[in-house]
Chains A and B, each alone.
Chain A
Amino acid sequence: MSDTTTPKENLVMNHLVSLSYSEELTPILERYVDALIDGRIVGHKCPQCGRVYVPGKGYCPICVVETTDKDEFEVSDRGTVTGFTIITPVAYYGQTETEPFVYASVLLDGSSGNLGGQDIIGVAHDQLHSGMRVRAVWKPPNERTAEGVSNRGWGSVASVIDAFEWTGEPDADRSVYEEHIF
């Protein structure tokens, strides 16, 4: 044993925590993805209160009742922008965007909840506003995959829909989206 002196150099440890998940989708998400690849967006409609969850959850958390394939309900691929953020990206680890981009919530016609994190095209950033009517810009059928859909989230449409495009229709009435601004 010998005493040692403390080094002057201040060392830095670079560490990457990396967690990889491999999961089988639930039967409900399987049907959801099958429909997405087919160009349809489906959820479950609660038989008691009529709320439509996209994708279906297998239950209505408000009524605490089960929902099944029998409650499957197709919503439109058109909807209303309820809220949005223009994000100016900083170059943090994993950020691939370099220019300001849109992160919008879209309330699809027929759905009771927003689809989050959507790009809106066909309109300048400074013209974006709640109430805008938009429609899905689908990827070509052979490019649609299940990537990004997980049992842990609300599902995603990023692997089948590139963005939502302004339809040019008049804005939706405020009552359509005022309870859904997020």
Chain B
Amino acid sequence: MSQPRVVESTLEFPYSRSLGPVVGGFLAGLKEHRILGIRSADGKVLVPPLEYDPNTGDTLDELVEVGPAGTVGSWTWVDAPTPKHPLDHPFAFALITPDGADTAMVHAVDAGSIDKMSTGMRVQPRWRDEAHNMIDDLACWEPA
């Protein structure tokens, strides 16, 4: 019996999204190599910034600079990245708490090898060469 045919197809949905002052502020910060969070009603700094207070629902508007270095919380190693992943070689997805922030953000850590990864390790941002208003303007984190 011959090999079954394999057919390829691609579905694409383009989105163009006006970011507003909070998410737009965050991305404008990345463009300047600064990481911004937002202060919630109870004084905590949320990164990336939310437009509302998760406890009260109130509008938030006080952007606060954090980092640039941070600390890895939990992480998972991606041994065989797909074309959709942020890096084309093995890396970690990690929860990273920037210095001065009270929350962690999910991002990629380019550690080179799983042996270099540990909870509590210090990391610093690596910036994308040319900003394009997306989260990967912060290209990834690397061991500090």
Residues in A lying within 8 Å of B, measured CB to CB: 1-7, 9-25, 27, 30, 33, 93-94, 146-150
Are the CB atoms of B7 and A150 closer together than 8 Å?
Answer: yes
Per-residue A-contact encoding for B1-32, CB less than 8 Å = 1, 0 else:
00011111111111111111100110111000
Check if A7 sits within 8 Å of B5, measured CB to CB: no
With contacts A93-B12, A149-B7 known, is A11 near B63, CB below 8 A?
A: no
A sample of 5 cross-chain residue pairs with beta-carbon separation below 8 angstroms, ordered by A number, consists of: A4-B25, A7-B25, A16-B15, A24-B4, A150-B7
Residue of A nearest to B37 (CB): A1
User: Could you say which residues of chain B place their CB within 8 Å of the CB of A6?
Assistant: 21, 25, 61, 63
Q: A14 touches which one: B4, B15, B64, B66 (CB < 8 A)?
A: B15
A11 & B5 in contact (Cβ 8 Å cutoff): no
Contact B6 A18 (CB under 8 A): no
Closest chain-B Cβ to A46's Cβ sits at a distance in Å of 25
Contact yes or no, A13 B36, CB < 8 A? no
Tell me the smallest distance from the CB of B116 to a CB of chain A, in Å: 29
Chain A residues lying within 8 Å of B79, measured Cβ to Cβ, are none
Q: Does any Cβ of A come within 8 Å of B65's Cβ? A: yes
Contact of B8 among A2, A4, A21, A27 (CB under 8 A): A21
For chain B, the count of residues having a C-beta within 8 Å of the partner chain is 36
Asked if B100 is at the interface of the complex by the 8 Å CB criterion, the answer is yes
CB-CB < 8 A to B34: which residues of A? 4
B63 touches A1 (CB 8 A): no
* A147 close to B7 (CB less than 8 A): yes
Q: Are A12 and B18 in contact (CB under 8 A)?
A: yes
Q: Is B103 in contact with chain A by the CB < 8 A criterion?
A: no
Report B-chain residues with C-beta under 8 Å of the C-beta of A20: 8-10
Q: Is B58 an interface residue (CB 8 A)?
A: no
Contact status of A1 and B100, CB under 8 A, knowing A12-B19, A20-B8, A146-B7 = yes
Docked CA distance A176–B18 (Å): 51
Smallest beta-carbon distance A171→chain B, Å: 36
Quote the shortest CB–CB distance from A4 to chain B (angstroms). 5
A9 to B24 alpha-carbon distance, docked (Å)? 8
Given known A21-B8, A150-B7, contact A3–B62 (CB-CB < 8 A): yes
Q: Determine the chain B residues whose CB is within 8 A of the CB of A25 once the complex forms.
A: 4-7
- Distance in Å from the Cβ of B36 to the closest Cβ of chain A? 6
- What's the least CB distance linking A30 to chain B, in Å? 6
Interface residues as binary, B96-125 with A (CB distance below 8 Å gives 1, 0 otherwise):
000010000000000000000000000000
Q: How far is the CA of A146 from the CA of B3 in the complex (A)?
A: 14
